[in-house]
Amino acid sequence: MPDPATSGSNVFYRKLTRHYPRIVRGEGCYLFDEAGRRYFDACGGAFVVNLGHGVAEIATAVGNQARTLGYVNGTAFTHDPVEELAAEIAQLSAADLELVYPLGSGSEAVEAALKLARQYWIEMGRGAKRKVIALAPSYHGNTLLALSVSARPHSSAFFKDWMVEVIRVPAPYPYRCECRGKPPYCPACSGVAIEAAILEAGPGSVAALIAEPIGGSSTGASVPHEGYWARVREACDRHEVLLIADEVLTGAGRTGTWSALEPYGVVPDIMTLGKGIAGGYVPLSAVVTSRAIADVLARGSGSLAHAQTFSHHPVLCAAGVATLRYLRGNRLIERCADMGRVLHSRLSALRDLPLVGDVRGRGLLAGIEFVADRETREPLARSAGFAEAFTQAALEAGLVVWPNIGHADGHNGDLVMLAPPFIVTEDQIDEIAVLFTRALWGAAERVGVAR
């Protein structure tokens, strides 16, 4: 393992004990390192690259805006890119979601959304509504408030003393729920658990529920049954709890519709977006909400108490506008839905491979969960480090995937995620399946897991 103190680089790497291939170019679905080796970016980096690498239109938009206007203070001025970005997002979002607050990262957006919910109730004269309900497993970001609402013990272990208390409710996770995702649904899969938590906490004390409409990496793209979100929405309405849809990962078309909630006919009170709204070309996220919520602040303090130096940034917003127009002009969200059906059809064959317990997801978002026993769904021993071994074997095979651990019981559990760019072809989906299979054999040998 390289020693970060003596490796010769001044970069504080995300992981300090591994060697990083140096990527010099991206094109379409592929990355190329300095040695000329090609990697299939099958997870879009971090679920970000939806347009593909090397799209000239986005680079041109960024350069033109930087030459025209690089930065102004969002507390003093507005400008064309932010007005256009807000209009584009509002047009794509459900009717009530028409006000857009641009930020730089998903964590910032989640932080701001939670603050907005709290401030809304205070300015409504109902300051007792301060508690937040979140699902477990879940992930919402790495700032302290976002980390607090996440349920990922390995991410928060060092910071527990700095985090706020959150009410946890089991996520709808059919592969591991007691009902196995079939009626009669268990409390987690039916949504009953959420209303029970609201009632136990006291509706007058609950400010918001935050959740991903379809599971991200924490549950491996777990998809609730079709009635789940309608029931949750009704419970939130009945008890006056704001529903925050964290669509940082699942939004911007990743699941085949602009919002992952869209097919359920459910509109949240607040939505967060990120990742795909700028295609990875710049860091950009957003909080989206209704005028009804914003008007409460306008009549009271006059602003959201969430200051960020680079919010409403002209260059970032210009990249977002170019990305959204490219998505629309090339009908890439519709393509994501079509190619998603191909992806899941091809991936279904992986269920016949040893150690593969489940394949699930929607659109161009898929999770593959590994288990020691497919019948009992017993997870692999965490000591085997299978998700990590698979990720490395995949990289060596030329396939980039996204691993996750701990989802089975907070400690054990191994899965990987796939989220290729929306431009992926059928032949490239076949390539993913071939490389995935090769990596599985390599990882099983590497860790000595019986096949």
Number of structural domains the chain divides into: 2
Q: Is the peptide bond before 187 cis (omega within 30 degrees of 0)?
A: no
Residue 439 and residue 411 share a domain: yes
Check residue 154 and give its pLDDT: 81
Mean pLDDT for 299-306 is 97
What is the maximum span of the chain, computed from C-alpha positions, in angstroms? Answer: 64
Place of tokens 């009902």: 179
Q: Specify if 318 maps to a domain.
A: yes
pLDDT, position 451: 55
Mean pLDDT of 38-51: 98
Residue 157 sits in a domain of what CATH number? 3.40.640.10
Q: Same structural domain for residues 47 and 94?
A: no
pTM above 0.85, yes or no: yes
Instruction: Flag whether 14 is in a domain.
Output: no
Do 272 and 123 belong to one domain? Answer: yes
In this structure, the answer to whether residues 363 and 438 fall within a common structural domain is: yes
CA 391, 341, 190 angle in degrees (round to 5)? 85
**Final residue of a structural domain among 301, 329, 357:** 329
Question: Is residue 336 located within the same domain as residue 262?
Answer: no
Residue 450 has pLDDT above 70, yes or no: no
pLDDT in tens, 133-180: 999 999 999 999 999 999 988 888 899 999 999 999 999 999 999 999
In which order are the strands placed within the sheet that holds 402-405? Answer: 356-362, 365-370, 414-418, 402-405
Residue 139 lies in a domain: yes
Same domain assignment for residues 183 and 223: yes
Tokens of 13: 């790497």
Q: What is the pLDDT of residue 141?
A: 96
Q: Residues 368-393: pLDDT tens digits? A: 999 999 999 999 999 999 999 999 99
* pLDDT over 80 (residue 6): no
Q: Say if residue 1's pLDDT is above 50.
A: no
Mark whether 151 and 221 lie in a shared domain.
yes
Residue 11 inside a domain? The answer is no
284: region left, alpha or beta (phi > 0 left; psi from -120 to 50 alpha): beta
N residues, the chain: 451
State the average pLDDT over residues 190-203. Answer: 98
- Quick: pLDDT tens for 78-102: 999 999 999 999 999 998 999 999 9
Place of tokens 């191909």: 342
pLDDT of residue 156: 86
One domain, residues 43 and 79: no
Residues 47 and 141 in one domain: no
Mean per-residue pLDDT, 248-270: 98
| Contact (CB, 8 A) for 403 and 388 | yes
Q: Is residue 122 part of a domain?
A: yes
Amino acid identity, position 27: E
Give pLDDT, residue 261: 97
- With CA atoms as reference, report the closest residue to 72 among 306, 285, 310, 263: 310
Tell me what the mean pLDDT of segment 49-57 comes to: 98
| Contacts of 444 by beta carbon, 8 Å cutoff, 6+ apart | 354, 355, 450, 451
In a domain, 15, yes or no: no
Q: Which pLDDT score, from 0 to 100, does residue 153 have?
A: 84
Looking at the domain assignment, is residue 191 inside a domain?
yes
> 411: domain range?
23-54+332-447
Omega before 314 cis (within 30°)? Answer: no
Please tell me whether residues 176 and 75 are part of one structural domain. Answer: yes
Last residue of one domain, picked from the residues 329, 353, 372: 329
* Lowest-pLDDT choice from 152-161, 208-217, 296-305, 406-415: 152-161
Query: Got the DSSP string for 214-275?
Result: S--TTTTS----TTHHHHHHHHHHHTT-EEEEEETTTTTTTTSSSSTTGGGT---SEEEE-G
Whether residues 213 and 360 share a domain: the answer is no
**Environment class of 167 (CB within 10 Å of its CB; exposed 0-12, middle 13-18, buried 19+):** middle
Whether the pLDDT of residue 3 is over 70: the answer is: no
Nearest to 107 by CA among 115, 119, 117, 99: 115
Residue that finishes a domain, picked among 296, 312, 329? 329
Tokens of 7: 């490796």
Considering only CA atoms, which of 428, 419, 116 is closest in space to residue 268?
Answer: 116
- Asked if 176 contacts 377 with a C-beta cutoff of 8 angstroms, the reply is yes
Assess whether 264 and 282 both reside in one domain: yes
Q: What pLDDT was estimated at residue 411?
A: 93
Note the pLDDT of residue 448: 83
Q: What is the mean pLDDT of residues 254-280?
A: 98
The confidence score (pLDDT) of residue 82 equals 98
Look at residue 36 and tell me if it is in a domain.
Answer: yes
CATH of the domain at 415: 3.90.1150.10
Q: Is 72 exposed, middle or buried (0-12, 13-18, 19+ CB in 10 A)?
A: middle
Output the average pLDDT for the chain. 96
